[in-house]
Chain A
């Protein structure tokens, strides 16, 4: 029986890897994404334009403008001379942030009175705007500190696991998870649907293989693809991008295996309820996109409303991403991994048994 299973797996892998186009489609998108997205996915603000409306013209405001111009966040400075021009420029998206110095800013600062300084951000991009506004506030407080205002002592901040807060260290472990999700789900969900469409699924059913073996034969190639793609990105992340790898390779593989099982279960469940490849593909999509967004990759789960936090409990991705970050960055031990491994196995058990039941019903 095991030999038959092996044959089935080999047949599946041949269907995937047998053509040049097929091999190409399993590797190229992965490499392309690994090369492009880490550079794109940053929430830092760089090369933004800053709008200055200086109603003051005194020494202090000019000094501040020059200091703002020297930061890496703002590479372009635009001067405007009226309220109307300011509103127009923000409307046209010429700048992310505008700084307005009140008429007697320098004089009031000299006299140690509250000097008005307004920071306007483009609400169409309020996240970047707020980050940029923080840079402005930093420049201002540095300036004040040097101007003999009582030295505002700063805190000593240490960023654990990622000392320079490099976004790539956050993105690449997440990419391992997201890209394996796409690969594994597509392979498991679409392969059954393709056999249904082509009519070969009936042939499989009349073979001596039991439904459980057929399912295993469909799940294992998907997991092989997931682990292959995942390892490829992990290698590029460590050797190409220099993301530290603090755990053991075996831990990474164990995480991928459990995640692959959970995913294969989801994929087979989707394929058990779809008749055509289009339905399977759209089913994959209907699962994958919300799962990715709710995984904590874009925004932390703890910031979400309670309802979405509950959904995150059911989402295998929200266990796998912390494992990846733990193994890459956080020196995870096996004991740290178990609380995240067994929920994935639980999800796998549930989805696999449900899919099996659906298949059996389909046969009966």
Chain B
């Protein structure tokens, strides 16, 4: 660190009052030492991204696998037994047969089952009348709405298929003449990992950019070293740049590592160009670092700055960026709010670059808004810093 020198003690001629590259370099070096010496920043920049990518890529499976359901068959007729067998054979369900509905309901309440299918005693008779469906009751665990939707949709699917199969056995024509084929563009086997991993990179980069920097200025204030720095001829631009540049390099290194892990370890396809990826990442890091520095400058207290960074950067990146929840499904006011969140543009750019390739019409607007937000946050920080420094 440069020696503390009260301004009046400094001979005016010897001190370079304008912007000085040498001072910037010295400050950057000081900041870099602080990063490298603290094992926690290395943990956050290189270990946590890998952990998070694996957790998001492998543990979050939105395409429900076999759902555990209970089954009660109150009808001893042949059609009922036959339908029960096709339920058990379905890969969508892991069927736990039970005798009493009450016992199964208790397991549903405990979350051990996500649904119950009941074949009522009049199933076979109603089936003869073409009304079999009304004698099948499906109970779902509404406390898990997404899974509940899957349970009723899958049960309906098994039921349709079974009706068609029995009709075909009886020599009747196909019931549903429409041959509906579903195909997923870019992601033919609909692996949710392929879009969750690029999205999570945006979340990871938010952590590195905004959370780490939210602490750095507040720390200087708390420890009193900010006063010492202010007493030197350091300019505002030098001070801000010395906080931005080292963390920018750290962020870019983490970004490269995320790319390597995603593509070579997790096998997520990457169809865009690395140059564009680095460009978008630079712009995004600008926003994230700017936001973190802004909070740090305003709060001057590490605890509050960290809380604020969690609220203003991390949680919105997870909830409002479109990574997990579709933005178009949100209320209009909230959709407008998401436009202020840098992770939204970055997640979109990453998903495009990974899965679709260099689609200029999507990437340029993303880059434009990221650049705008970068100017906004860095500008606001500079403004606020001037006021607090004077």
- B334 adjacent to A39 (CB under 8 Å): yes
Measured in the bound complex, the distance between the Cα atoms of B160 and A348 in whole Å is 50
Measured in the bound complex, the distance between the Cα atoms of B41 and A168 in whole Å is 36
A152 CB-CB contact with B under 8 Å: yes
Contacts of A254 in B (CB 8 A): none
- A153 adjacent to B131 (CB under 8 Å): yes
B114 CB-CB contact with A under 8 Å: yes
Measured in the bound complex, the distance between the Cα atoms of B147 and A31 in whole Å is 28
Number of interface residues of A (CB under 8 A): 109
- Of the listed stretches B20-28, B53-61, B377-385, name the one at the interface; the rest are far from the partner chain: B53-61
- Of the listed stretches A207-215, A256-264, A287-295, name the one at the interface; the rest are far from the partner chain: A287-295
Per-residue interface assignment for chain B, residues 321 to 357, with 1 indicating a CB less than 8 Å from any chain A CB and 0 otherwise = 0001110111100100100000000001001100110
A182 CB-CB contact with B under 8 Å: yes
Residue ID in chain B nearest A102 by CB atoms: B179
Within 8 A of B (CB), among A159-185: 159-163, 165-167, 169-170, 182
- B299 adjacent to A21 (CB under 8 Å): yes
B174 CB-CB contact with A under 8 Å: yes
A158 CB-CB contact with B under 8 Å: yes
B222 CB-CB contact with A under 8 Å: yes
- Of the listed stretches A1-9, A232-240, A329-337, A354-362, name the one at the interface; the rest are far from the partner chain: A329-337
Per-residue interface assignment for chain A, residues 291 to 330, with 1 indicating a CB less than 8 Å from any chain B CB and 0 otherwise = 0011000111011110010000000000000100110011
**Assuming A39-B330, A305-B58, is B181 touching A197 (CB within 8 A)?**
no
Measured in the bound complex, the distance between the Cα atoms of B203 and A178 in whole Å is 17
**Assuming A197-B222, A286-B43, A293-B56, is B185 touching A120 (CB within 8 A)?**
yes
- A123 adjacent to B355 (CB under 8 Å): yes
B186 CB-CB contact with A under 8 Å: yes
- B43 adjacent to A282 (CB under 8 Å): yes
A41 CB-CB contact with B under 8 Å: yes
Give me 10 other A-B pairs in contact (C-beta within 8 A), A92-B362, A120-B185, A122-B185 excluded. Answer: A29-B310, A43-B62, A43-B325, A112-B173, A115-B179, A152-B133, A157-B155, A282-B41, A286-B51, A290-B55
- B337 adjacent to A134 (CB under 8 Å): no
From B132, B348, B352, contact of A153 by CB (8 A):
B132
Q: How near does chain A come to B206, taking the closest CB pair, in angstroms?
A: 11
Residue ID in chain A nearest B215 by CB atoms: A278
- B177 adjacent to A127 (CB under 8 Å): no
A78 CB-CB contact with B under 8 Å: no
- Of the listed stretches B1-9, B189-197, B242-250, B252-260, name the one at the interface; the rest are far from the partner chain: B189-197
Contacts of B56 in A (CB 8 A): 293
Measured in the bound complex, the distance between the Cα atoms of B324 and A128 in whole Å is 10
Measured in the bound complex, the distance between the Cα atoms of B298 and A21 in whole Å is 11
Residue ID in chain B nearest A278 by CB atoms: B215
Per-residue interface assignment for chain A, residues 273 to 286, with 1 indicating a CB less than 8 Å from any chain B CB and 0 otherwise = 01011110111011
- B181 adjacent to A119 (CB under 8 Å): yes
- Of the listed stretches B73-81, B103-111, B368-376, name the one at the interface; the rest are far from the partner chain: B103-111
* Interface range, B side: 35 or more
- A153 adjacent to B130 (CB under 8 Å): yes
Measured in the bound complex, the distance between the Cα atoms of B176 and A115 in whole Å is 10
A47 CB-CB contact with B under 8 Å: yes
- B351 adjacent to A304 (CB under 8 Å): no
B390 CB-CB contact with A under 8 Å: no
Q: How near does chain B come to A237, taking the closest CB pair, in angstroms?
A: 13
- B40 adjacent to A119 (CB under 8 Å): no
**Assuming A149-B177, A293-B59, is B142 touching A169 (CB within 8 A)?**
yes
- A302 adjacent to B143 (CB under 8 Å): no
From A115, A165, A293, contact of B149 by CB (8 A):
A165
Q: How near does chain A come to B226, taking the closest CB pair, in angstroms?
A: 15
| Chain A residues with a Cβ under 8 A of chain B | 21-22, 25, 29, 32-33, 36-37, 39-49, 90-93, 96, 108-109, 112-131, 133-134, 136-137, 140-141, 144, 149-163, 165-167, 169-170, 182, 186, 190, 194, 197, 274, 276-279, 281-283, 285-286, 289-290, 293-294, 298-300, 302-305, 308, 322, 325-326, 329-332, 336, 339
Residue ID in chain A nearest B198 by CB atoms: A124
Contacts of B48 in A (CB 8 A): 282, 285-286, 289
**Assuming A278-B40, A293-B59, A308-B58, is B219 touching A160 (CB within 8 A)?**
no
Residue ID in chain B nearest A113 by CB atoms: B177
B304 CB-CB contact with A under 8 Å: yes
- Of the listed stretches B63-71, B276-284, B285-293, name the one at the interface; the rest are far from the partner chain: B63-71
**Assuming A155-B159, A305-B58, is B180 touching A140 (CB within 8 A)?**
yes
Q: How near does chain B come to A280, taking the closest CB pair, in angstroms?
A: 9
Going nearest first, the 8 A-B pairs with the smallest beta carbon separation are A123-B187, A162-B142, A153-B133, A123-B186, A159-B142, A29-B311, A123-B184, A279-B40
- A167 adjacent to B145 (CB under 8 Å): yes
Per-residue interface assignment for chain B, residues 24 to 59, with 1 indicating a CB less than 8 Å from any chain A CB and 0 otherwise = 000000000000001111011001100110011011
Contacts of B351 in A (CB 8 A): 124
A-B contact pairs, 24 of them (CB 8 A): A21-B301, A25-B304, A41-B325, A43-B326, A121-B183, A122-B186, A128-B329, A152-B133, A154-B133, A156-B134, A156-B137, A158-B139, A165-B142, A165-B148, A165-B149, A190-B302, A277-B303, A278-B219, A282-B44, A293-B56, A298-B60, A305-B58, A322-B110, A322-B111
